[in-house]
Amino acid sequence: MIQIRLRYFASFAEAAGVDSESFTLDHHDARRLFDDLKARYGFRQSAEHVRLAVNDRFSDWHTPLADGETIVFIPPVSGG
Amino acid sequence: MFTISETPLDLAALRALCQDNRAGGFCSFEGWVRNEHQGRAVKGLDYQAYVELATIEGQRILAETALQFPVIRVVAAHRVGSLAIGELAVYVGVSAGHRDAAFAACRHIIDAIKVDVPIWKRGHYLEGASGWLHPTA
């Protein structure tokens, strides 16, 4: 089991109703975590359009999640 | 230097960061809040940043641009918070020995910011609705 912290931004924060929360996971799979959150909160973006950050760095979806990490799923950006 | 600001951007201060006795040209880009989005009348925009990663990515873009183009100073800044029509949302400034590099690097920086820096805008529309913008190519 690993404990991770999630932070949410933009429509993901709106959908989740919180800016951050902690989860205990029985796996290390970022894609599975995203799909679970998408089902729970009704995120509109599919994983293909979402980027992943781990501990404030862009990360790869295939890198196993580890205990204590802060995870952010990043919906398509619209700055500028 | 890339910064994210909760208060109005100081154009004179940002421009001053680009001044250098070796520079013969300066080019800047300002992104302003427009009064419409895809045909809908807009009354304002909220900008939100993932500040930690946005700052890292913004600095990376500026550093890479300074390696790719013969420029002297590169500066960019982005506002967050609630902005009204006409307000300055993003600024890019580049000084260089000659104008070609200043124009090209300025364009490169704003294009990269719009792709890689985790900042989002939420439109507030005159008809009363609002929503976060998540464009997909």
A15-68 pLDDT tens trace:
999 999 999 999 999 999 999 999 999 999 999 999 999 999 999 999 999 999
Nearest CA in chain A to B91: A80
What average pLDDT is seen over chain B?
Answer: 97
B136: in domain: no
Q: Check which CATH number belongs to the domain holding B20 and give it.
A: 3.90.1170.40
- What pLDDT sits at residue B95? 98
CB of A77 closer than 8 Å to CB of B118 = yes
**Residue ranges of B 41-70 with Cβ closer than 8 A to chain A:** 47-50, 52-54, 56-57
- What pLDDT sits at residue B137? 65
- What pLDDT sits at residue B125? 95
Answer whether A80 touches B (CB < 8 Å).
Answer: yes
The answer to whether residue A10 scores a pLDDT higher than 80 is yes
- What pLDDT sits at residue A37? 97
B95: in domain: yes
Contact A10 B117 (CB under 8 A): no
The shortest CB-CB distance from B110 to any of A49, A76, A80 is to: A80
- What pLDDT sits at residue A73? 98
Q: In what order do the strands lie in the sheet with A20-25?
A: A20-25, A2-7, A70-74, A51-54, A57-59
B43: in domain: yes
Residues 6+ apart with CB under 8 A from B121: A78, A79, B45, B46, B47, B48, B89, B132, B133
Predicted TM-score (pTM) of this structure: 0.95
Answer whether A17 touches B (CB < 8 Å).
Answer: no
| Alpha carbon separation from B39 to A54, B36, B42 (Å, rounded) | 37, 6, 9
Lowest mean pLDDT among B4-8, B26-30, B107-111, B130-134: B130-134
B51-109 pLDDT tens trace:
999 999 999 999 999 999 999 999 999 999 999 999 999 999 999 999 999 999 999 99
B137: in domain: no
Provide the domain limits for residue B86. Answer: 2-128
- The DSSP element (H or E) to which A73 belongs, if any, is strand A70-74
CB-CB neighbors (< 8 A) of B117 in chain A: 77, 79
B50: in domain: yes
Number of domains composing chain B:
1
- What pLDDT sits at residue B49? 98
The answer to whether residue B136 scores a pLDDT higher than 90 is no
Structure tokens at B69: 């183009």
What fold characterizes domain A2-74?
Ubiquitin-like (UB roll) (3.10.20)
